[in-house]
Chain A
Amino acid sequence: MLMVRQPSRRLSKGWEYTTRMDYDLECQSIVKTFGVFRAVDQVSFQIERGSFFSILGPSGCGKTTLMRMIAGFYEPDSGDIHIKGRSVLSTPPNRRPVNMVFQHLALFPMMTVAENIAYGLRRRRASRSEIETRVADALHRIGLPDSGEKRIDQLSGGQKQRIAIARCMVLDPDVLLLDEPLGALDLKLREHMKVELKQLQHQLGTTFVYITHDQSEALVMSDRVAVMNDGKFEQVGTPQDLYFQPDTAFVAGFVGDSNKWRGRVLNRDATSLKLEADSGETLVGVPGGSAAADRGMAVDIFVRPESISLRRVTSSEPTSTPGDTVNHRAAVVESVLFNGAQSRALVKTRQGEDMAVALPQTGEYADLREGEEVTLAWSIEHCRCYPASSG
């Protein structure tokens, strides 16, 4: 690979103000293969105490395998997992200080809500009175104080969700693992549960490790997000880091939407790169991530629809204002995709490229129609390029 990672830079942030013992979960060079397929490949990361950490990746990227190794259902081929500074590799899943909220929640249908929550406490041989008070307390905390005697199938999706979390939280785990628990909910409820989960985590102060393929879930809830692809971590950082400073082409393409071109580097100077897209157009951009971009190198170029500014071409104004710092295009609106705050315009540039542009929400473009002529502009730093991925 051409990319040169700079782990020292990313890690140093953490090392400055935390000691090793402040990590609730630490994975060191975890490898897991199934036959010839390497599901998890040399993954290392640390999660600070009490933080919300997400692992974001497309399906089949190995995130579930990684989580099942943390929970203890799989054993890594090599590497080590530390929880609160102690290796748990030899600890079976029922003794690990981690609990898991399963994808379909896995509430026990043969038990009532209260019995579900009490299950783990009963396994620890807690006294009957203690179980009763803790179950009542947990039900109260999740806002379902009267649901103890209900059967699982009498609950709504959101209530089930909360019960599944309460069932783990009564056990005071060091780390709570959540395996895409919002996947089965409808959109409205999912939006609501995102906020609720984040608040719950904040209130409880427990370390959450959240697995998802939905970037909005990861970005909204997490303190830090790891983007995973092909069994490897592409980048670990805050949601803002991932969105504004993606390290790799994969992260740039996966987190948020992007207009993407294949091209090559024509020339470079101290601050910017002159690029030529395969279609023959030239652009000015900056290297994304830490990869060095040499002249002639094949690159992927990314521009987010929301960092492009769009202007109508009116007869009184000149059609374009060429400048050194701005990329610009003249284009024709092909169609308008109205979706409230996420409305887009699909345009075709004069050179024949299709691009998506976010529409400003000021109402000024509410009457934009097909066939109108517009000019597009975006600054150099919003035009990021990465060494071309082989795919």
Chain B
Amino acid sequence: MSQKDARRLTFLLLLSPFLLWILLLVVIPHIDMFMLSVREKIEPRVYETGLGNYIEVFSEPVYVHTLFRTAVMSVAATALTLLLAFPVSYYIAKLARGRLKSALFLMCLLPFWVSELVRVFGWMILLRETGVISSFLQWAGLVSGPVEFLYNDAAVMVGLVYTSMLFMVVPLVSTLDSLDESLVEAGYDLGGGGFAVLREIVIPHAMPGIVAGCIIVFMLSLGNYLTPILLGGKSSLWFTGHIYSQFITRFNWEFGAAFGFILLATSSLLVWLALRLSGQTLASTIAKS
């Protein structure tokens, strides 16, 4: 066997797990899902190909409303996460030194050692009517009766931001780490105040990290099921809830598949829009962070 053949074989062997993964877990299921989603049920065991499922989703106001609400809430959660994660990341990347830096980074990672379910239950213990915060407020005499913090949009938002924090911090820290301190100093030296330096130098430099973090957090929030359902309760109206109920409760796989594809299209569209607006490309954000 020539060296060239050997190299090609090595390449194929190294590539094969990735190819298998993407083919078996991404491409084939999605083709199957798509086929399902364009199959209309005429009567039991009789099907026709058409866009009936999609038309039905969009003609039902509650589904459109849920989709819109899920998208807006996810965008809000992304923005809030960015706002909270940026100062944290800046501190970790630029101000903390040595062991403090790794300790802080580890503290961001720590919540992810337990499962999402346990983390959400943790929030429920804090926020429910008989929970820690409610009891404390009563004990302190600030409120007269028990207060329910769960099952509203704020609780969902708290949960989403908490779950997403790390995925924003990691790309931000890595881009901010590469920011040369002398650029910040030059920004001040040439007459810039703190805000000008942030806007003109730090944020433009961190843009690839910001966009990468936002894409990840947005996708995670949009596709999240556990957090909105548990913290938002019945009124949460999260789009993934509909997908779950179509597949599991109603056994209407055709309809559920259509839901799934609508969600995929929505997230792709919004990510594309965000990339266009920020002037970044997917390649530049992924490569840099």
Contact = CB atoms under 8 A, between A and B. Distances in A.
Interface string B85-119: 00000000000000000000000000000000000
Nearest to B204: A110
A45 to B, nearest CB: 21
B191 to A, nearest CB: 4
Contacts, number: 60
Contacts of A72: 189
A110 to B, nearest CB: 4
B190 A167 contact: yes
Contact of B191 (A94, A103, A106): A94
A119 B200 contact: yes
A243 interface: no
A108 B201 contact: yes
What is the predominant secondary structure among interface residues of chain B facing chain A? helix
Interface bin, chain B: 10 to 19
Interface bin, chain A: 20 to 34
B186 A124 contact: no
Contacts of A102: 182, 185-186
Given A104-B180, A106-B180, A110-B205, A123 B185 contact: no
A94 B180 contact: no
A36 B238 CA distance: 60
B201 to A, nearest CB: 6
Contacts of A106: 180, 182-183, 185-186
B47 interface: no
B97 to A, nearest CB: 14
A18 B191 CA distance: 31
Contacts of B193: 94, 123
A168 B190 contact: yes
A214 B200 CA distance: 34
A99 B189 contact: yes
A124 B182 contact: no
Interface string A237-275: 000000000000000000000000000000000000000
Interface of A: 71-73, 92-95, 99-100, 102-104, 106-111, 119-120, 123-124, 167-168, 171
Interface of B: 180, 182-183, 185-193, 196, 200-201, 204-205
